[in-house]
Structure 1
Amino acid sequence: MSRPHLIGLTGSIGMGKSTTAGMFAALGVPVWDADAAVHRIYGIDGAAVAPMAALCPDAVQDGQVDRARLKKWIARDPAALNRIEALVHPLVAADRRAFVEGSSAAIIVLDVPLLFETGADAQMDTIVVVSTDAAEQRRRVMARGEMSEEIFERILAKQLPDAEKRARADVVIDTTTLDRAERAVAVLMRQIRKGQADA
């Protein structure tokens, strides 16, 4: 079988990426989720546990990486985040590769929040960026009740600006309404499947 068509799905925090990934899944497309991969490698017997224990013994408890302890380390050590990312990103990339190699699907969605920031965009056939206006983005994030304005701003500062992501996308999906996003996902899937049929 020929190589699957890889859709790289990305977007800034609060833009509707997880919801859009669910729309692809509802159409029968396998979806690999970077956040879920991090949970796997941080879990008991996960690939990150032993190297993280060597990097920061305090960050590992009961055989797994403790995210709360990681956050404390990051708060007190400005270099911690870069060291954690240098360890985690290759492990996440290996998990993604294993998912693709283990699938027989013709189309696969790879849900990667830091697609451009990690250089993973170079491996994709189609890059999809989800987007909405800044006010709606902020409203969604604050409505979750999980973070302060300060943390939200800090996350935004680390992510590539939305305008730049949109400029580098093959397809931009407007997630302001569910209907609009669902229509865009359906159109894209038809285009890719038609392209595969014609090839």
Structure 2
Amino acid sequence: MSFILGLTGSIGMGKSTTADMFRRSGVPVHDADHCVHQLYRGRAVPLIEAEFPGTVAAGAVDRTRLSAAVLGRPDALKRLEAIIHPLVREAEEAFVARCRSAGLGLAVLDIPLLFETGGQARCDAVLVVTAPAAIQAERVLRRPEMTPEKLAAILARQMPDAEKRRRAHFLVDTSRGLVEAQRQLGSILRALAGRPGRAR
């Protein structure tokens, strides 16, 4: 039975880099964000256009138009989530089933808002990627079009890092460089080697 490890972390903590480290170690990763991008070019297109007319262009969801349609409208955001979340969950379940069929010992679910959406219930353990707040802010503010105000708004929607760390089974601190992060990840992989996941 594959052991399912949830991978999460707030913006700018190094979650994507950690996910890549898992892949390079031979561990399959299901990336929820990448799945959404695929859905916006595929199965979700007609559903979103029906719910939010004018948000599709050239056969794909225009993220700028969609953002404008839901920004500041909690009811609209809930309608969007009602479309997307079941499709992402379906893809995730198919991924886990493939890993189990292949007899893989470990699989990773990369879910940005894992705790916020109750995703930990679908995992055998959770790894939280973390870094000091000052380093987090420095990383995020280097991104194009990012401002302190935008960062504050994003963080307001996310569970505080301290609470995520409290709930985590494993931590990777990315503030001390890639070599140290890889060392921490190696320790986690050794700790999980041969550990069975629960029946689903």
For the criterion TM > 0.5, the same-fold answer is yes
In structure 2, the gaps of 5 or more residues are none
Match of 1:187 in 2: 187
1: CA distance, partners of 2:195 / 2:97: 22
Equivalent residues, number: 192
> What amino acid is the match of 1:180?
E
1: CA distance, partners of 2:109 / 2:145: 25
2: CA distance, partners of 1:4 / 1:195: 9
The 5-angstrom pairing of residues 79-98 of structure 1 reads: 79-98=75-94
Aligned pair partner of 2:45 in 45, 49, 63: 49
Shift of 1:150: 1.7
Match of 1:65 in 2: 61
2: CA distance, partners of 1:136 / 1:92: 31
Shift of 1:194: 4.3
Deviates more, 1:69-78 or 1:140-149: 69-78
Match of 1:117, SS state, is coil
State the Cα RMSD in Å: 1.4
Match of 2:71, SS state, is helix
Match of 1:32 in 2: 30
2: CA distance, partners of 1:97 / 1:167: 27
Runs of 4+ in 1 over 4 A off after TM superposition: none
Match of 1:140 in 2: 139
Shift of 1:95: 1.1
Encode CA deviations 1:62-90: one digit per residue, 9 max, x unaligned. Answer: 22111010111123644322221222111
Shift of 1:37: 0.2
> What amino acid is the match of 2:166?
A
The 5-angstrom pairing of residues 146-157 of structure 1 reads: 146-157=145-156
